[in-house]
Structure 1
């Protein structure tokens, strides 16, 4: 009989730069208090998101089996996600250097932290946690076009060597994956993880607290931002095909 290969070993075998950052999620070690914090975070966000999140996010939330009452088991999430789009929610030890991050996106492995914020950091944590990574990001990976866009983004960035070009591509990520808006049925809907996972920021945007512009690649590539401040300008796309095409256009401009 052969020796079973763990998901960690399989993932490491597909990666080079990112391999040392991969870990196992020990789901059984989460405490009842941590599950309670997750539940409180999710149940606080869902009423607003059911009304204002894009339909692809809400569909993805159901499709990957996220629950309101307990933290996600990443192996179970990936088992539901991978047959749909080839993506996995892959546990990592923490913040990744850019080349490791891009390598993982290019391999359709989303780097996912396993720690959860404490109760005294419910509103905001400067470092992404499992709530931001899974609740904020991963449901969108169940949508085929968004999934293709994110892989394409990772492959393009992995090939770039000019730091100025990488900085500009970082703006494309920020104003789509992190703080993206989309127009659906005549309304502004949210899909960016920073809006999905932050009640304060999302409420401010929906209340008209920032300028919403039509998505324009050149404008986005030149739009500076501060990660520690509320966003004064955001961009709304008409479809996810638009950002997928934008990655190809950006590559031709920045290569």
Structure 2
């Protein structure tokens, strides 16, 4: 999501920078194409159909890193969103303001060959390939704006960390149930070859029905595959829960309760998979 840092001199007040598409090298574009083609072969049947529809309607299959002006023009006509470049992670209040005004921020660099399968700070592939296709879906686009507006209110309530968990377990690492089965939709999964397989197929992680309060009490990890995923019923249901909830008393309730460890399954959880946690345990032993 975001962080606290000093704004670089070349960034505007809202932390945006020109994309300066020409600064990307041939190697940068080749990296995008490599990552794009690998995911495009893997994702059909695994990812939410709404994501594939977004890739198609936004014409993101053209070679090379997309030009944000052209991408934004297509996206604006569909849902009123645009894509803007930022130098890296940005402060929470700036992040929320962009989302609340239907601007999606993207890192303005791409990973190196050594980072092809993992990097901690989101690059243009994670941000644009992973996030932008679903912004072409009107309901998810509304959810992202509602999230930004909620973020603007959360600071005064001392609840930014709790709200960050909602973003993590939906926008970044969410699963969704369709009639034909379970699919991935979170950008952190969609942009990762390994986690696109792990999130659906591996017996290790828990897969638990989405519950707003439960999510806000649950820790998460940023350094490896997730130990648990939350499964939404539909984007419409996710948006409805977000818009219909009075967050102030919800924050007060969850802040007063202990955090739930990542691997925990509670008695009242809707459990789709009670994971073995074998992967996480192996990493701990191996580490």
For normalisation by structure 2, the TM-score amounts to 0.79
Corresponding residue SS for 1:50:
coil
Tell me if structure 2 keeps the 8 A contact 1:43–1:68. Answer: no
> 2-side partners of 1:135 and 1:19: how far apart?
26
Tell me if structure 1 keeps the 8 A contact 2:46–2:196. Answer: no
> 2-side partners of 1:124 and 1:162: how far apart?
34
Is 2:196 the partner of 1:202?
yes
How far 1:20 moved relative to its partner? 4.0
> 1-side partners of 2:25 and 2:188: how far apart?
26
> 1-side partners of 2:83 and 2:149: how far apart?
18
Tell me if structure 2 keeps the 8 A contact 1:215–1:235. Answer: yes
Tell me if structure 2 keeps the 8 A contact 1:22–1:91. Answer: yes
How far 1:250 moved relative to its partner? 5.6
**Compared CA separation, residues 250 and 111, structure 1 to 2 (3 A):** farther
Write 1 or 2 for the structure with the bigger share of helix: 1
Corresponding residue SS for 1:168:
helix
Kindly report structure 1 stretches of 4+ aligned residues shifted beyond 3 Å: none
Residue aligning to 2:237: 242
What residue ranges of structure 2 are gaps of 5+ in the alignment?
A: 1-11, 253-287
Tell me if structure 2 keeps the 8 A contact 1:38–1:68. Answer: no
RMSD: 1.6
Residue aligning to 1:222: 217
Is 2:179 the partner of 1:182?
no
Tell me if structure 1 keeps the 8 A contact 2:157–2:251. Answer: no
Residue aligning to 1:231: 226
The count of aligned residue pairs is: 238
Residue aligning to 2:135: 141
> 2-side partners of 1:251 and 1:87: how far apart?
25
Tell me if structure 2 keeps the 8 A contact 1:21–1:94. Answer: no
For normalisation by structure 1, the TM-score amounts to 0.89
